[in-house]
Each structure stands twice: as structure tokens, then as C-alpha cells.
Chain A
Amino acid sequence: MRKAPGKQAVLTEELARAREVLEEALGERMTSWSPAGARRAWADVEPGSHIRAVKALKTCFSELRLAALTGMDLGDELRLYYHLRMGGSILTLRMPVDKGKPSVESLTPLIPGADLHEREVFDMLGVFFEGHPDLRRLLLPDDAPEGFHPLRKEIEARVLRAERTSPILMPVATEERGPVLTLVIGPQHPALHEPERFVFKVDGEVVVDVDIRIGYAHRGIEEAAEHRTYIRDLYLCERVCGICNVAHSLCYCLTVEDLLGLEVPRRAQFLRVVAAELNRLHSHMLLLGVAAEEMGFRTLFMYIWRDREVVMELMEMLTGNRVMSSFNRIGGVSRDVKPELADKMRSRLPELRRRLEHYEEVFETDPTILARTEKIGLLSREEAISLCAAGPTLRASGVEFDVRAEDPYAAYDELSSFRTVARREGDNLARYLARLEECLVSVDVIDEVLAELPGGPIRVRAPRRVGPGEAVRTVEAPRGELLYYIRADGSDRPARIKIRTPTFTNLAPLRKMLQGVYVADIPVTLASIDPCFSCTDRAVFLDVRTGRRWSCYLDDLLSGRGLGD
């Protein structure tokens, strides 16, 4: 909230319209409507009326997406918060749920992208979603005790740690007949970052369907954040993701500043943009290199990563560290940029821009890349919206939505060099090219901001205690829209922090993309959403007809070895 506290902001058109729609559809069942700033509104609805509300809103807003589903335990009742993204605004439907009989109707038939969001809430809070096609655990182990839902207030963190579950994975149930094989990939991975498990149903070489199981790196950060002060939480949130740490700390700071009604100095707003865009460059170039490697184009991977070093050096000059920035603070940023440093940083940009332009040419023309990406992993515009895709994944399918443009934060509304990058094709190539183009925009933005840094302080003092209230903010992280919801109760610790990362919401679209691709295209398609996990090396094969079981490395599989006889 950058406006002075107390000043009444004019609601956006979307929210004004949404209110009319809700009043008409729900009547008395909407018990309250409270706008917060220009782009946020909270609506209390009676239990069970959320389906009718979303249905009415969906006919009115064609690009409506479920941004996040927050569940919380308030002691005597559970609450569900449906954060709905409508253009530049977020409308949150708040709905109480009876703790004795925690059961609500599922939103998944209406918005297919709600699938994983509801599974997460079921897993963490034990809310049953009636009509959900596949309500299973998502983050906790499959054999976690029944009725064990860690975000319930009656469950202590200590008990959580004492709870023992089997380290051995549940066997994958396979069908006994038919041409469809079950291909299990993950969760262990010998070389790359994070563990996930993919269970592919393959017909010959074509993927028919995939089940994605996450949670192997679940660290319980949301619960941990409730036990730390706001200052210490900043560093915890920064470590949700190492690569996009600036996006996380920025989103956290924005949300807390909203709760405090703090006005961040202009110079800090601009410096935040520099850090955020450097972070985006770092993340995108990392991914483009990884993508090249997945395609078997290892030289390109090395070239891109070498040039990424420029970004890392700039980051080190700006923040004091190559990766973990610790740059955003509640109320501003941690350090200033002297004019000499700004000039020094700017002098490195032309070189970076030249290399990025070269890579754009490579990605657009190289036969190896085109053969591996063009018209593969398709996601249509309608699917991207209904499955709630985010970031470059959404924009590559023709939806021009970028949080920086639609729901601006920091100084993005004052920049002339920023533009939204969108493409229409919706294939792997479009997703990679969208990122490359975004990199070029980021270079321009950094150059503009460093050239025209406004003067003034870089920080205001923030109180340690945060008065009661709740706020939801999003930023455009490199991988897409990142959402933070924080509920404050007046103490120096938050009562609830909900983090919805972009990869989480991009998993449902990924599932769609993978349907119909060849097994050999799985790694490239996976990388095209820039997932915050990796998986694709070791595979276990089960021949459903004979029950024979064997393993091989995916590399061997791709080259034709390892398929047995």
C-alpha cells in the first residue's frame, strides 16, 4: 500500500463489478464486503455458497483464476480463503467450515486448476472436498496416520517431529491389462536439485497421463513461520526458494508493509526493482541453460551459464552475495547504491544484452532446439486459464497477464521500458522464447532504473509488532505469480502465513502438457515450466503384462539402451 494511510482508494472496475455479481448471486448469503486498498477485497460468504459465487463470477470474468486456497484453523472453526485473481485485482472469499464436520463442495469440477490446491488443504487441515476427483495426501507421506493434519491447532510441532512414517514409498498400483504401461520416475535423483515422483501412464512411447506426487522436500515452513518473529521470518521466507529468493523476500515485505500501512521510500522501490530483475535474469538464464542440456545441447548450456556469471557478479556488487540477496527489508532495502556502483553495473549490461540477443537467435533458428520444442507440450489459452497457470507458462499460451503490469508493486508502474511479453503458440518453444524476451526486457529495466535512481532514504523504520489484520500480496517471480497471505494478531509473530509458489500452480498445466508427448520429450517439457524440482533421471519400468520389473537411467532410455529385450 503506497498511498497514505486513511486515504480511501477507488475500487477497480473488476471489484466493483464483482460486488454486484456476488450480491445478485448470493443475496443474503454474502454477509460482508470489505475492500482493502484499490485492488483487494474480502467477501464473507456463508458455508456452502462458494460454488454459486465462483460460478457467477466465472461467467462474468472469462480470465478468472484461483490464485490460492488458504486454509486455517482458528481454534473453534476452520476457515477457507478462496483468493480469486481477476485482472489486476484479487477478491478473497472467506468461508467458515464446521470443525466437527469439515466438508465442503469441491471447486475442481468448476475450475480444474483447483485440484492440487484442495489436496493441499485436505492434507494440511483435513477438510474434505466433496466431488474432488482424487482427494489424496499431497505433501505428507502416503502412510501418515489417518486424521493427522499438521496445520490443525491441536497438533503440536513437537508431535509432528515424533510422528514416524515409513521411508519406503508406497508401491504404485498398476493396471493388470491393456496396452498402458506405468512408468515411475523419481523421487530420487542422482544429479539434479529436488525430489519429486512422477507416475506416467504410457502407451508405447506416448504419455497418456501423469500423476505428480510432491512433498518430498516439505519443510513445514508455514508452520515454522508462526513460531518466529516477523524479522526472523523474512530470512525464513527468503529461503523457501534459493533461486527466486528476491521474489520471496519482496513479497513477504510487501505483505507485512501492507499490514503495517508503511510507506516505503521511492529510492527503495526502485532499488527493489533492480534486485528483482537481476534475480529474474539469473533464474531465466539458469533455466535456459538447463533446457539446453535436457535437449542434449551441452555446449549451449555452458555458454549460457558462463554469461550468467555477469548477472551473478552484478548481484554480488548490489547485495553483497551472489545468490542469497538479503536485500529486501521490511520498510525498504538493506543497502544503498553509490553513483559509481550504478555506473559500473550499467557498463556490464550491453555485453549481457548482446549475448542474450545471440541466444534468442539460437533458440529461434537452431534445428536441434526447434526439433525438440516446436509444437511439443501444447497448452491452449483456455486450458492455461482453467488450470490456473502462472508466469511465462501462462503468457506463452496467449494470456497477457503479468503482475508487474496488472497489479504493480515496487516501482513497476513508473517504468517506461517495461512491457509484458506474451506469445500465442503455447508450446515448449514459446515458453523458452518468452523467457528469453523477458530477459531482454529485464536488462532494459535495470538500465533505466540505475540511470534514473531517485534520491532520498532507502528505508523507514518498521515496528516489531504488527496490529491485527490480514493482507494478500503477489509479485511476479521468475516462474510466475507468487502469492503471500499473512494474518497478523497484534503480536510480533504472524498468526498464519500462506505461501503459494508459482510451480505449485503450474503443476496442473504441466500434467496437461505432458499428455500426448513422447517419453523422450518429457525432460524438455518438464523444464519448460521451469519447475522448482527435478526428477527425470532414474526410471523404474513395470511391464504390466508379465509383471517383470527392471530399472534403467532415463539417459539410457532416451538413447534406446536399457529397454530390456
Chain B
Amino acid sequence: MKPKIVPAILKDALRTLVRALRKPATVRYPEVRVEVPEGFRGPPWVDLSKCVGCGLCARDCPSGAIRMVGMADGGRRVPVVDLARCIFCSQCSESCPKGAIRAGREFKIAVSDSGDLVRDFRPLLIPGEHEE
């Protein structure tokens, strides 16, 4: 241990100096926009025009984040996703036999009221769009 202390310290000091002149490793988030990579596994997004209301997503959801609710016309039942419970595992999109659920790219989902995290996709459905 004794012999090499001084050269080792000098070497490390030099290395630190070189590093200090480079640009920082961190990003000035949130001033600087950050992009998530392609294939990011974000909140589930349900396309109700493809949904047939089988309920497999709700059955397989490991955290019980999906609830089936009736459509206003009293027809099929469709999923409502509670992001407060969601663990973003994408099992729902795998269980869906119609490919109606996919993972979104959204990552800033913090809200001050957890009720706002319940995603109801019914208002987005244009009547008559559902393919039978």
C-alpha cells in the first residue's frame, strides 16, 4: 500500500480535472424536454372501438386496476383503468384478444387528486364506430 499512494492520487486528480471539463452527465429536467425510448411501457390506452367487453384484461390484471363498467346504451361492458393501482406491466394488452389495449408513451402522470387517475375511455368513443 505504501509505495503508490502519491502517483495514484495524482493520477486520480488528473482524471477528475479532465472530467470536470466535459459536459455534465445530468439533464436540466424539466426545463429540457426528455423523450422516452420507443416501446416505452406507459399507461394502458384502450381503444373502445375494438373492445368486445370480454373482461379478460380485468381478470388478469395483477393489481386489480381494471374495472368493467356498462356503456351508456346498456350494451357491452368496457374497461376503466385506475392508474393509481396500475403497475404498468402491460399484461392487459397481452390478454386482450382484439388488440384493443396498448401501452401509452405518457410518463408525466402525477396529479394532486388520485381520482383524476381513473381513465374512462367511454367519452372518446364515437357512436357507431364499434365493429361487430
- Please tell me if A413 contacts chain B, counting CB pairs below 8 Å: no
Among B4, B36, B39, B91, the most chain A Cβ lie within 10 Å of the Cβ of B39
Which residues of the partner chain B approach A367 to less than 8 Å between Cβ atoms? 1, 4-5, 8
Which residues of the partner chain A approach B62 to less than 8 Å between Cβ atoms? 228, 231-232, 234-236
Partner of B91, one of A231, A239, A335, A365: A231
Whole-angstrom distance from the CB of A278 to the nearest CB of chain B? 14
Whole-angstrom distance from the CB of A166 to the nearest CB of chain B? 31
Contact in complex: B8, A320 (CB < 8 Å): no
Among A234, A235, A371, the most chain B Cβ lie within 10 Å of the Cβ of A235
Fill in one digit per residue for A315-329: 1 if any B CB lies within 8 Å of its CB, else 0: 011011100101001
Whole-angstrom distance from the CB of A264 to the nearest CB of chain B? 16
Of chain A, the residue at the smallest CB distance from B26 is: A306
- Please tell me if B69 contacts chain A, counting CB pairs below 8 Å: no
Contact in complex: A317, B37 (CB < 8 Å): yes
Contact in complex: B41, A232 (CB < 8 Å): no
Contact in complex: A329, B87 (CB < 8 Å): no
Dominant secondary structure of chain B at its interface with chain A: loop
- Please tell me if B49 contacts chain A, counting CB pairs below 8 Å: no
Contact in complex: B25, A316 (CB < 8 Å): no
A176 to B31 alpha-carbon distance, docked (Å):
61
Contact in complex: A326, B1 (CB < 8 Å): no
A321 to B87 alpha-carbon distance, docked (Å):
11
Contact in complex: A365, B4 (CB < 8 Å): yes
Contact in complex: B8, A235 (CB < 8 Å): no
Residues B48-73 near A (CB distance < 8 A): 60-63
A147 to B49 alpha-carbon distance, docked (Å):
56
Of chain A, the residue at the smallest CB distance from B105 is: A320
- Please tell me if A366 contacts chain B, counting CB pairs below 8 Å: yes
Which residues of the partner chain B approach A232 to less than 8 Å between Cβ atoms? 60-62
Which residues of the partner chain B approach A326 to less than 8 Å between Cβ atoms? 41, 88-91
Closest 7 CB pairs of A and B: A320-B41, A235-B62, A232-B62, A326-B89, A306-B25, A231-B60, A367-B1
Question: Interface residues, chain B, CB within 8 Å of chain A?
Answer: 1, 4-5, 8, 16, 25, 36-41, 60-63, 87-91, 94-95, 103
Question: Interface residues, chain A, CB within 8 Å of chain B?
Answer: 228-229, 231-232, 234-236, 238-239, 299, 306, 309, 313, 316-317, 319-321, 324, 326, 329, 334-335, 365-367, 370-371
Contacts A235-B87, A321-B41 known; list 19 others, CB within 8 Å: A228-B62, A231-B62, A231-B91, A232-B60, A232-B61, A232-B62, A235-B89, A235-B91, A239-B87, A313-B37, A316-B36, A316-B40, A317-B39, A320-B41, A324-B88, A324-B89, A326-B88, A365-B4, A365-B8
